[in-house]
């Protein structure tokens, strides 16, 4: 719950510590703002506070054009391209790239394949395909250590298209076949 007096004090002081914590909705203009909005502060009797921009919009308010509430800290717009990379990494971890090519994957993220590779290079220091390959081989290594699954099952669960590709990538990474890392019972 938001304390009206605390929110009002923060709004009048334009306290940056509260940016993204609450939003001020102005009943007379039907606009909602961030606590740091440079506009003249509305009268106390004309405002209410909400915990999210979505709650403001659900109540019938529209975003302020001056303080741009969609850019509050930790919003997708605030995080920028980091949001795209975080989403891409989550999708790769969930195996989405195992069943589609880089171009389709980039399209799913709403960007082009070249831009996706540039972002990966910027944030991870490697390409999308290298990142996915590393994720697959790390998952395979964990499955080798923690389960008694066959190598074929491990290859499949790790996202490799074939046992042959799995063996090849594993040897390339660890300089030994996957069977040599299998824990002995």
Residues taking part in catalysis: 33, 37, 64, 67
- Taking CA atoms, 101 is separated from 133, 156, 183, in Å, by 13, 17, 34
| Three-state DSSP state, 115 | helix
Rounded to the nearest 5°, which phi and psi values hold at 143?
Answer: -65, -35
CA 17 to chain CA centroid, Å, is 23
Q: Which two tokens stand for residue 85?
A: 């990379």
Q: Residue 24: in which H helix or E strand, if any?
A: strand 23-26
- A 10 A CB-CB count for 96 gives 16
């Amino acid at each position: 719950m938001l304390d009206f007096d605390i929110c009002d004090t923060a709004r009048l002081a334009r306290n940056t510590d509260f940016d993204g914590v609450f939003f001020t909705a102005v009943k007379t203009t039907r606009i909602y703002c961030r606590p740091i909005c440079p506009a003249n502060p509305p009268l106390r009797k004309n405002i209410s506070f909400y915990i999210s921009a979505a709650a403001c919009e659900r109540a019938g308010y529209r975003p302020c054009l001056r303080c741009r509430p969609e850019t509050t800290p930790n919003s997708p717009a605030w995080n920028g391209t980091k949001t795209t990379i975080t989403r891409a990494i989550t999708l790769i971890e969930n195996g989405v790239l195992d069943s589609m090519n880089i171009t389709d994957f980039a399209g799913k993220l709403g960007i082009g394949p070249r831009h996706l590779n540039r972002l990966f290079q910027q944030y991870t220091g490697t390409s999308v395909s290298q990142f996915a390959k590393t994720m697959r081989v790390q998952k395979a290594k964990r499955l080798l250590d923690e389960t008694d699954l066959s190598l074929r099952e491990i290859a499949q669960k790790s996202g490799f298209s074939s046992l042959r590709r799995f063996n090849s990538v594993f040897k390339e990474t660890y300089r030994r076949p996957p069977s040599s890392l299998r824990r002995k019972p």
